């Protein structure tokens, strides 16, 4: 064979800031043939912080919230806001299982609007498949590699609770989006079921008093769980859009206050575990002694390890445990 393989070529393009590599990167990461899986692992390895000498510079932002709260409409405005500042944006939207597309849930769901001629914006929708509210495996990988070339990578997921926790494993900054007048996020927050988001966004501020009321309720809920550091931003995403610059400011502020190395390390460990579970299922997890034990093993691994080597370590441990079993 001559010339670099597909992974090496894509890694080079991303390192050179070639944003037009994004579609090919996603195609590779979404392909499940053994050859593509090997190339994907090679791509991740080539762009790992050990090889880069630093963490990927792009900010990975998770935007999550219940169905229909206005996430996609907001992302259209958020992308425009970042573009106005000259920043490039990749958006990875995770669609809920297509099974539900016949129902009313997706009835008036908005598409993320953008200028198709603008090469600095990349948008990809990935089906979550059977994972209810969960992240597709390709999304974790895509977020980490696109952050090498794009200034901002946004992951949109639907749901609250589990999906918010999962997106927090991948993202540097998590924004939970709340619709005025709906109580679920508020209840989760108050009950401490939900990890406190880095930023809370109240959408549809154009609805007026009900939105102000939602702001006050969220502030009260944050106070009750002692999380007064979380910013609550009201936005309206329909013309004339309001609050977008303030939201970008809050996302920036979170990024500036963040221990990026620690957050990314946590993301790589979660990614390795997710890949292991994807491949070996519940039986694999049992062989490791359960999720807690697997997490403990990952926590002991050297911080510089890339995802593939962490996954391989879990696989060796699981194989060893199976071999020892009488």
Ligand X SMILES: Nc1nc2c(ncn2[C@@H]2O[C@H](COP(=O)(O)OP(=O)(O)OP(=O)(O)O)[C@@H](O)[C@H]2O)c(=O)[nH]1
Residues that bind Mg ion (CB under 5 A): 71-72
Give the x-and-dash track for 8-47 against ligand X (CB under 6 A): ----------------------------------------
**Cis bond leading into 54, ω under 30°?**
no
d(CA 214, CA 137): 34
Q: Tell me which of Mg ion, ligand X, none is bound by residue 221, counting a contact when its beta carbon lies within the kind-specific cut-off of 5 to 8 angstroms.
A: none
Q: Tell me which of ligand X, Mg ion, none is bound by residue 108, counting a contact when its beta carbon lies within the kind-specific cut-off of 5 to 8 angstroms.
A: ligand X
Strands 231-234 and 121-127: unpaired
Taking the complex as a whole, the smallest distance from the CB of residue 75 to ligand X amounts, in Å, to: 8
Q: Specify which residues 91 forms β-bridges with.
A: 123, 154
Where does this chain touch ligand X (CB under 6 A) — which range of 69-77, 225-233, 262-270, 291-299?
69-77
Q: Tell me which of ligand X, Mg ion, none is bound by residue 238, counting a contact when its beta carbon lies within the kind-specific cut-off of 5 to 8 angstroms.
A: ligand X
Where does this chain touch ligand X (CB under 6 A) — which range of 1-9, 105-113, 164-172, 294-302?
105-113
Give the number of C-alpha atoms closer than 13 A to the C-alpha of residue 224, restricted to the C-beta side: 13
Please identify which residue in 195, 206, 278, 279 interacts with ligand X, judged by CB under 6 A: 206
Name the H helices within the chain.
6-15, 22-30, 34-46, 49-52, 71-84, 137-146, 162-170, 184-191, 209-224, 244-256, 260-287, 291-300, 307-324
Asked if 236 touches ligand X (CB under 6 A), the answer is yes
Per the structure block, which two tokens stand in for 231? 């910013």
Q: Tell me which of Mg ion, ligand X, none is bound by residue 114, counting a contact when its beta carbon lies within the kind-specific cut-off of 5 to 8 angstroms.
A: none
d(CA 149, CA 11): 10
Residue nearest to ligand X (CB): 70
Asked if 64 touches ligand X (CB under 6 A), the answer is no
Query: Of 14 and 177, which CB lies nearer to ligand X in the complex structure?
Result: 177
Taking the complex as a whole, the smallest distance from the CB of residue 314 to Mg ion amounts, in Å, to: 33
Taking the complex as a whole, the smallest distance from the CB of residue 66 to ligand X amounts, in Å, to: 7
Taking the complex as a whole, the smallest distance from the CB of residue 71 to Mg ion amounts, in Å, to: 5
CB 157 within 8 A of CB 62: yes
Query: Of 212 and 297, which CB lies nearer to ligand X in the complex structure?
Result: 212
CA dist list (Å): 221 to 124, 188, 230: 34, 10, 11
Please identify which residue in 58, 62, 68, 243 interacts with ligand X, judged by CB under 6 A: 68
Please identify which residue in 48, 59, 88, 203 interacts with ligand X, judged by CB under 6 A: 203
d(CA 203, CA 71): 8
Instruction: Report how many residues bind ligand X under the rule CB under 6 A.
Output: 18
**φ, ψ for residue 106 (rounded to 5)?**
-95, 10
Give the x-and-dash track for 153-172 against ligand X (CB under 6 A): -----x--------------
Give the number of C-alpha atoms closer than 13 A to the C-alpha of residue 272, restricted to the C-beta side: 25
Q: Other CB atoms closer than 10 Å to residue 131's CB: what's the count?
A: 18
Where does this chain touch ligand X (CB under 6 A) — which range of 18-26, 50-58, 64-72, 255-263?
64-72
Strands 152-158 and 121-127: unpaired
Asked if 215 touches ligand X (CB under 6 A), the answer is no
Residues forming contacts to ligand X in the complex (CB under 6 A) are 67-73, 106, 108-110, 158, 203-204, 206, 236-238
């Amino acid at each position: 064979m001559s010339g670099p393989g597909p992974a090496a070529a894509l890694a080079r393009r991303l390192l050179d800031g070639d944003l037009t590599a994004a579609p090919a990167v996603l195609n590779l990461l979404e392909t499940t043939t053994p050859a593509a899986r090997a190339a994907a692992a090679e791509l991740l390895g080539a762009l790992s912080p050990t090889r880069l000498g630093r963490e990927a510079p792009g900010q990975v932002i998770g935007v999550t919230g219940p169905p229909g709260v206005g996430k996609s409409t907001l992302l259209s405005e958020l992308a425009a806001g970042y573009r106005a500042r000259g920043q490039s944006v990749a958006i990875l939207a995770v669609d809920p299982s297509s099974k539900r597309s016949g129902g009313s849930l997706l009835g008036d769901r908005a598409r993320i609007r953008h200028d198709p001629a603008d090469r600095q914006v990349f948008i990809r929708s990935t089906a979550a498949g059977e994972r209810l509210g969960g992240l597709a495996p390709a999304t974790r990988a895509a977020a980490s590699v696109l952050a090498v070339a794009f200034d901002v990578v946004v992951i949109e997921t639907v749901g609250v609770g589990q999906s918010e926790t999962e997106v927090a494993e991948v993202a540097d900054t998590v924004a939970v989006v709340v619709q005025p007048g709906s109580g679920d996020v508020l209840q989760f927050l108050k009950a401490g079921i939900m990890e406190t988001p880095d930023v809370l966004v109240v959408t549809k501020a154009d609805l007026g008093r009900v939105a102000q009321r939602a702001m006050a309720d969220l502030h009260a809920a944050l106070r009750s769980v002692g999380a007064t550091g979380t910013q609550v931003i009201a936005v309206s995403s329909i013309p004339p859009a309001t609050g977008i610059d303030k939201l970008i400011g809050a996302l920036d502020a979170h990024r500036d206050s963040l221990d990026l190395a620690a957050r990314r390390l946590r993301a790589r460990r979660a990614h390795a575990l997710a890949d292991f579970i994807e491949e070996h299922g519940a039986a694999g997890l049992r062989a490791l002694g359960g999720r807690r034990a697997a997490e403990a093993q990952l926590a002991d691994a050297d911080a510089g390890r890339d995802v593939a080597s962490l996954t391989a370590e879990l696989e060796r441990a699981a194989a060893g445990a199976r071999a020892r079993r009488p």
